[in-house]
Structure 1
Amino acid sequence: MKTETLKINITQRILNINDNKVLSKIAKLLDEENIVGYDADGNPISEKEYTKDIHEALHQLSQGKLETYSSEEVKRKIVG
């Protein structure tokens, strides 16, 4: 089945659902699969993974365990 046909078929099926439990499951699945970017190796990153990574980085930062660099340090590393 072509992508556009599949989208239309799924949309029509979703519009006919009246069960909130089923709709919540669909929403959860879409939220988990929502691609918001890609990592340095080109692998997709979901919104859920991105949020988890940000929270982990903030936690490490608050613990003083996150390695950070100033703008000048980054410039020196790139330019040399």
Structure 2
Amino acid sequence: MDIQATKLELIKRLLLVDKESVLEELKKILLSNSNKEEVVGYSTDGKPLTLKEYHKKVQKGIDDIASGNFTTDEDFAKEIETW
């Protein structure tokens, strides 16, 4: 499917949407894409991430691991057993 066909398909589906909340979410996505930096993902709380922000979060994770600031899956499994 080429980009024009994809746009037409989305327009058709958009016309069928009857929930304001869905339209608001789509609007947020479209507006965030009109910014200078492209959204490449979303945070765990749903906020859009640019490539720069994404790289920053990845680097923080790498730094946390290097400094020993992490929890192993074994530790999580032990914690879960206490629930």
Is the TM value for this pair above 0.5?
no
TM-score relative to the length of structure 2: 0.42
TM-score relative to the length of structure 1: 0.44
